Amino acid sequence: MNFGFGKIAKGEGNIRQLSFITLCTFILMCWLLPDTFLTVRNFRSMSFQFPELGILSLAMMLAMLTGGIDLSLVGIANLASILGAFVFVKIMPPDSPEGVVLVYIAGVVALAVFVGMSCGLLNGFLISRLNVPPILATLGTMQLYTGIAIVLTKGAAVIGFPARYSVIGNGSVAGFGVPLIIFILLLTAFTVLLRKTNFGINLYLIGSNAKAALFSGIKVGKVLMISYMIGGLMAGLAGLIMSSRTNGAKADYGTSYILQSILVAVLGGVKPTGGSGYAIGILIAVLALQFLSSGFSMLRFSNFAKEFVWGVFLLAIMIVNYFTNERNKS
């Protein structure tokens, strides 16, 4: 058994095609907008924009590798950020000294991780123990988590965070944005997890053939539980970045990220039926969408035009991959 790695050449070929198309997109935007797109300011701005979508896309990839999906990721992110915001607004004493503020920030980070993992655990329990289809389970929990967030905030945004908290979403280290650093670290960890550990190999096998995985002695339920817990943890971290970058937390922040994260995952080579995908593909795909989004904003395209072009972009990639794979078979 090759645990999903038997088609590595095919997958790497798809990633090479995506890389070429991404490079062409970058060159096109540089040609159309040399004075605005090809600037340090624009690249710095993009480095703060795409990491939160990239993190959510990695979490989506994890669910899709097993043949599932997680529609609750944004709901988890918003719930985690709102609960963290309440710690600052309702619990932390006003005018707290620097040391106390840092302790509270550390507590908020820990709370976001805990909330994310707990929500992911519920998703995993519904899917692995109660055999609820992933799309229905996470659709239900998406409504649950969003509903809790709306009840807690009454639909309003929670604001008033300490200035130090904004470092997570807007700070820099050695010239690199903190969100970008977090995303790169998580991307590296995912690459190692999926390619170098038994857990990662088990994920690919479950996505390729769940029955074969079960008969080979893999504890499918346990692996699914852990995968959705990790996905929830990632969503919690993305929620921290979102609230820190915007200096606010709200129940409907980032609602478009769910469809975009699925788009990024599929563009990045993750097979919707499971068993195939690369973490590096997520990076390339999210960069492609970011180049398009930034370029269209500078060209003053409407949001409707952006959605249309993203759809065309996805279809074009899938068509190219299909014909390339068919040609390789013959």
Asked if 182 and 241 touch (Cβ cutoff 8 Å), the reply is yes
Phi, psi of 130 (to 5 degrees): -100, 0
Please state whether the predicted TM-score (pTM) of the whole model is above 0.85. Answer: yes
- pLDDT at 313 exceeding the cut of 80: no
Strands (E), the chain: 172-173, 176-177
Quickly tell me which residue has 């993009």 as its tokens. 46
Which residues have CB under 8 Å from 135's CB, separation 6+?
Answer: 68, 69, 71
C-alpha span between 38 and 49 (Å, rounded): 16
pLDDT band, very low/low/confident/very high, at 325 (cuts 50, 70, 90):
low
Q: How far is CA 257 from CA 59, 218, 262, 297, in A?
A: 12, 32, 8, 18
Name the residue ranges covered by the structural domains of the chain.
Answer: 53-279
Quickly tell me which residue has 């590798």 as its tokens. 65
Asked if 216 and 13 touch (Cβ cutoff 8 Å), the reply is no
> Running DSSP on this structure, what letter comes out for residue 92?
S
Q: What percentage of residues in the chain have a pLDDT greater than 70?
A: 93
C-alpha span between 144 and 79 (Å, rounded): 10
**pLDDT given at position 259:** 87
176 forms beta bridges with: 173
Taking Cα atoms as reference points, which of 229, 198, 197, 223 lies closest to residue 210?
A: 223
* 164-178 pLDDT tens trace: 999 999 999 888 899
**pLDDT given at position 8:** 42
pLDDT band, very low/low/confident/very high, at 12 (cuts 50, 70, 90):
low
Where helices occur in the chain by DSSP H, the ranges are 8-32, 40-65, 73-86, 98-128, 134-153, 167-170, 178-196, 198-208, 210-215, 220-246, 257-267, 279-298, 303-329
- pLDDT at 3 exceeding the cut of 50: no
